[in-house]
Structure 1
Amino acid sequence: MTVIYLIRHGQANFGQQDYDKLSELGHQQAEILGQSLQPRLGQFDKVVLGSMLRHKQTTQQCLKGMEQDLAEPLWQVDANWNEYNHHDILARFGPEFADAPSIESWVRQQPNPKEAFETLFNKAMARWISGQHDDYEESWQEYQLRIKAGLENVIKHADDAKCIAVFSSGGPISVVSQSLLGVDPAKIMQVNWTLVNCSMTKLVSTGSRVFLSTLNDHSHFEGKPKHLITYK
């Protein structure tokens, strides 16, 4: 039996043109996660991560917190665990959302900016997930297939590893969870919006099947300052 921990990256610079890096808080979240895991798990037998910078930075800080000296060349980088391109998805929804400054300007003009952005993003995602448009860099179907391939790669190459960490993003973790729970793909954003930065979703692979054990565990932030719990 192999336990696979899907770990969402720490808080990134959402709303910025260069989103793919952790904020100062994101670094702190990842290290606190590692500190909480050290007495519980000891060390990971294997580390897998997407090829995005925020995945790498989260891995670095988590392993630092765990006091696990696992050299970077021993990490398994698999771009199948990368997030969807939210810039492209928003831009295809409307030309006024083509870049981060334009989106920020639009959001600022709304009576309720937070609610307006969530509504906008959900509509843009619904257009993508519908499969009725072929103008995206990566279709929804292609996205699902590569995440499935990512999970299959982890299981296939687990070897003797009993405890594997996969550092990824909210989208891939939502897709895996949605698939294992049999949730309608149209409702995937209801899963995605709830995933906390540096939360853990635990899978158990028995060899014959994979099942979801826990979803969105962020108990390592409980009892600590509330600002540690973020969603972007």
Structure 2
Amino acid sequence: MPTLYLIRHGQASFGADDYDVLSPIGHEQAEALGQWFATQNITPDLVAHGTLRRQKETLAGIQKGLGIDLPPEEHPGLDEYDFGELLKAKYAAGDAPEGMMTDHKSHFRTLRTTVAEWQRDEIPNPPETWGQFTNRVDTACRALMRDGVETVFAVSSGGAISQAISALLETPGVHQTKMQLQMKNTAVNRFVFTPRSTYFHGFNETPHITAANADRLLTYA
């Protein structure tokens, strides 16, 4: 059956001035995933990413490891929600938690509470509403799972991927956040589809990360 491989980007540059750049480990993760696909004889006939640099760089690394160079489609619906702008909207009056964009524990604790408020439409003037976010993710996925394609590689981000899964499984918003927080870098999530139905077949898989390389390649940010 036709399959959409929805892949999270590689490790980005957490805490740096520009987060939206793969780290050296992120590049290594992407190429390793492409090499694993090659060993399984899995080759896409459609590749895609959002507009973010870390997504584009990840897809380039996967294609390099796989030994192909297909022209990608760009779907803004695959982009991550803008957590930084959400925080600015939430803490417009100040009192933002210290270290929330540089310390991992503070960051993820703040993410959980902020996204829950966003899902309830409790943050004034967000960069996009929760409804707008979910709609654009759904639109992108529908565009990728179309007639005439058999194997799709699409590089996205943790929040968008988790929302695609949550929508398919019809789970409450809290589970979207739980899935996002455990999503590994370059994790593969699989959807099989027909013109009438979509089925969820795999979550957060990293077959290219083994006991031999996990100390270096297993990351979450």
The normalised TM-score by structure 1 is: 0.88
Match of 2:145, SS state, is: helix
Give me the identity figure in percent.
27
1:227 aligns with 2:206: no
Determine the C-alpha separation between the residues in 1 that align with 2:68 and 2:175: 37
SS of the residue aligned with 1:127? helix
* Alignment partner, residue 131 of structure 1: 121
1:117 shift after superposition:
3.0
1:66 and 2:80 aligned: no
Distance in structure 2 (CA, Å) of the matches to 1:107 and 1:2: 39
CA-to-aligned-CA distance 1:45-80 (integer Å, 9 cap, x gap)? 11011111111100111100001132xxx2111111
**CA shift for structure 1 position 42:** 3.8
- The AA in structure 1 aligned to 2:186 is C
CA distance in 2, matches of 1:127, 1:145: 18
Moved more, 141-150 or 121-130: 121-130
> Cα distance, 1:222 vs. partner?
1.7
Aligned with residue 148 of structure 1, among 138, 150, 174 = 138
Aligned to 2:52: 52
Residue 220 of structure 1 aligns to a residue whose secondary structure is: coil
Question: TM (normalized to structure 2)?
Answer: 0.92
Residue 15 of structure 1 and its aligned partner are, at CA, apart by 2.4
Is 1:24 the counterpart of 2:24? The answer is: yes
Residue among 142, 146, 152 paired with 1:164: 152
SS at match of 1:221: coil
Match of 2:178 among 171, 176, 190: 190
Aligned residues: 219
Stretches of structure 1 that go unaligned for 5 or more consecutive residues are: none
Q: C-alpha displacement at 1:124, in angstroms? A: 1.4
Q: 2:111 aligns with which of 103, 118, 121?
A: 121
Partners of 2:132 and 2:109 in 1: how far apart? 24
Q: Which moved more, 1:176-185 or 1:23-32?
A: 176-185
Q: Distance in 2 between matches of 1:53 and 1:115?
A: 25
- Higher mean alpha-carbon deviation, 118-127 vs 208-217, is at 118-127
Q: Structure 1 residue runs of 4+, over 6 Å off?
A: none
Are the equivalent residues in 2 in contact too, given 1:21–1:54 (CA < 8 A)? yes
* Partners of 2:160 and 2:171 in 1: CA distance: 14
Considering fraction of residues, name the structure with more helix.
1
Q: Secondary structure at the match of 1:22?
A: coil
**Contact 2:189–2:204 (CA under 8 A) maintained in structure 1:** yes
